[in-house]
Structure 1
Amino acid sequence: MNYSSLLTIHSWFRWAVLISLIITIGRAWFGRRNKLTFTTFDNKLRHMTATICHIQLMLGFWLYFISPIVTYFLNNFGEAVHLREIRFFGMEHITVMIFAILVITIGSMKAKRKHADREKFNTIYVWYSIGLLLILSSIPWSFLPLTSRPLLRVF
């Protein structure tokens, strides 16, 4: 797969990540607030959201290693670290995203091991929310002047 196609897939897949996190966090908030039973559906939602995040991370790793921006960053680190856009994609974006997926993964594992329904919902709510905030902080949104990327790429 070429760089352009992979970049488009990665860009589109972010919406699956964001939507699944928002739904899962919303369900967890609602479940803990209303003292609901943690059902098989809730467990599948927890697992599916973590899996979507892992797929996006793998797409990101693949993209990272074929990106001309990252290649430039790695080959010219001394100069590139002072260039905001190059540094963002070469270092900041990947670091924050790895950490965000790690937080979501830990939250998923912790929730899976909890016994009380409220504890499960609360664990998902807290850990997935932190992961979502990290992700939101490191997406190259179209409104950011130095790292601006389109909200929807076209193949």
Structure 2
Amino acid sequence: MYSALLFFHSAFRWLVLVSLLYALYRGLTGWLGHRPYSKSDNSVRHITATISHIQLMIGYTLYFNSPIISYFRANFSQASRQLEFLFFGLIHITLMTVAVFFITIGSAAAKRRETDEAKFKTMTVWFLLALLIIFTAIPWPFSPLANRPYFRPF
């Protein structure tokens, strides 16, 4: 089960990134281009938030079943001195949770705005903040904190 969770969490991150980038594209072009906020824009906003929530739930399930996290919790003082354990035990989960909160706030606030420009602006700003946090918290292959491959085999 653990290896399947790792695979799905790793694969699903690309769906999160693509949907977030597409939502940002729609938000920026709508905001700067003074477009009307369409049903399609609303669907993109909603689907992006839903995808990020699914990824967060996969991540939480993985977190609470991970041998890395079990070791981190059992040996906190020793494990927190090692970057990889600290990254997965504390940094990754915290930053990703904050990023999904930002997506949720941005999605909910954009839905409630009165004007089309305000909807696009709200969605764009909150989603961009979330994307920056996500880029920071992903264990990229080149990351000095903890690195993982771009695609995990199943």
Amino acid in the other structure paired with 1:40: K
The residue number in structure 2 matching 1:68 is 67
Amino acid in the other structure paired with 2:111: K
Amino acid in the other structure paired with 2:21: I
State the distance in 2 between where 1:139 and 1:32 align.
Answer: 28
The residue number in structure 2 matching 1:103 is 102
- Of the structure 1 ranges 27-36 and 143-152, higher mean CA displacement relative to structure 2 is found in 143-152
Mapping for residues 1-155 of structure 1, pairs under 5 Å: 2-155=1-154
Amino-acid identity (%): 49
The offset of 1:53, in angstroms, is: 0.2
Amino acid in the other structure paired with 2:29: F
Amino acid in the other structure paired with 2:45: R
Structure 1 segments of 4 or more deviating over 4 A?
none
The offset of 1:115, in angstroms, is: 1.1
Q: Which runs of 5+ in 1 are unaligned?
A: none
**TM-score normalised per structure 2:** 0.98
Amino acid in the other structure paired with 2:3: S
**TM-score normalised per structure 1:** 0.98
Q: Contact 2:87–2:145 at 8 Å: present in 1 too?
A: no
Amino acid in the other structure paired with 1:62: T
Amino acid in the other structure paired with 1:109: A
RMSD of aligned alpha carbons = 0.6
DSSP-derived class of the 1:38 partner: coil
Q: Which runs of 5+ in 2 are unaligned?
A: none
State the distance in 2 between where 1:87 and 1:153 align.
Answer: 21
State the distance in 1 between where 2:94 and 2:153 align.
Answer: 26
Which deviations, in whole Å up to 9, do the C-alpha atoms of 1:73-124 show, x marking residues without a partner? Answer: 0010111111100010000000000000001100001000001000000001
DSSP-derived class of the 2:129 partner: helix
State the distance in 1 between where 2:145 and 2:5 align.
Answer: 22
Amino acid in the other structure paired with 2:65: I
